[in-house]
Amino acid sequence: MIAVQSSVARLGVALATPLALVIGVYLLFAGHNHPGGGFAAGLVFGCVLALHRLTAIQSNFDPSKVSAVGILIVVVTAALPLFWGDALLDQLVQSVEIPVLGKVKSGTALPFDIGVTLIVLGLVAALLDGLGVRSAPQSGDSK
């Protein structure tokens, strides 16, 4: 890879990763009330993955599994209301008091958004695989 030789780049990416993940998770949860959402969160995670691939940091990541879990979550969330007679994709909003955080309001839009995140991440990962980014080190390992 282009940045394989640069340990500065590798270290930088490694250090930035936890921060980027936190931002991604923030965007996912904040999305309902502030800018962000499942799509944006998926893209942030995708960026992290791309940077890892760029600097040849190994991560075990199967795009098809991530996409599959995402599809499952989205479809189940969408179809569940049908079982108690509501419309497809009907929302359920629930407010609960949690000791430290105070009043937290959330709905079934959250799992739906998580599913979207996983699907977007799966797509980015598939794109990276399709570009042949992962193949070089792995085919060496498998011998």
Partner 1 sequence: MIWWILSAHVVGMCAAALLGRVSMHRGLGAAAVAPALTAAWAAQQLFVDAEPTSVGIDWVAELGIGFQFRSGPLALLLTLLVSGIGALIFVYAMGYFASDAAGSVRFPVTLLAFSTSMLGLVLADSIWTLFIFWEFTSITSFLLVGHKNTSAPVQVAARRALAITGAGGLALLAGLLILQGETGTVSLSNLPAVSGTAGAVAAVLIMCAAATKSAQVPFHVWLPGAMAAPTPVSAYLHSATMVKAGVILVALTGPSFADVTAWKTLGMTFGIVSMMWGGFIALRHTDGKLILAWGTISQLGLLITLLSIGTPKAVFAAISILFAHALFKAALFCVVGEIDVRTGTRDVRELGGLRRSMPVAFAVAVAASLSMAGVPPLLGFAAKEAAVEAVLKLDGVEQFMAAVGVFGGSVLTVAYTLRFVLLTFSGSPVIDVRPRRWAMSAPSVILSGLGLILFFWMGVSNSVVIPAAVQLNPASAEFELLRWPGLKTAFFISAAIVATGALIGWLLANRPSRAPDALGADVVDSLLDRILRGAVVVTARIQHGSLPVYLATMAFVAAVAGAILVVDVDFDKLVLWDTPIQGLLAAIILGAVLGGATVRSRLGAALTLGAVGLAMAGLFALQGAPDLALTQLLVETIVIVAFVLGLGHLTREFPAVNRSWHAIRIAVAGAGGLVVVLALAAASASPTGQPPLEDLEREAVAEGGGNNIVNVILTDVRALDTLGEVMVLATVAIGILALANLRSIAGQR
DSSP secondary structure, 61-107, as one string: --HHHHHHHHHHHHHHHHHHHHHTT--TT---EEEEEETTTEEEEEE
CA distance 25 to 20: 9
The only residue of 9, 34, 76, 102 in contact with partner 1, by rule CB under 8 A:
34
| Beta carbon of residue 7, minimum distance to partner 1 (angstroms, whole number) | 19
Give the sign of the dihedral formed by CA 91, CA 95, CA 99, CA 102: positive
Query: Residue 120 and residue 12: Cα distance in Å, rounded?
Result: 25
What's the closest the beta carbon of residue 132 comes to partner 1, in angstroms?
A: 7
67 near partner 1 (CB under 8 A)? yes
- 């879990």: which residue's tokens? 69
- In the list 7, 58, 59, 64, the residue contacting partner 1 (rule: CB under 8 A) is 64
28 makes contact with partner 1 (CB under 8 A): no
The residues of the shown chain that bind partner 1, judged by CB under 8 A, are 1-2, 27, 31-40, 43-44, 46-47, 50-51, 53-54, 63-64, 67, 70-71, 74-75, 78, 88-89, 91, 93, 105-107, 109, 112-113, 115-116, 119-120, 122-133, 135
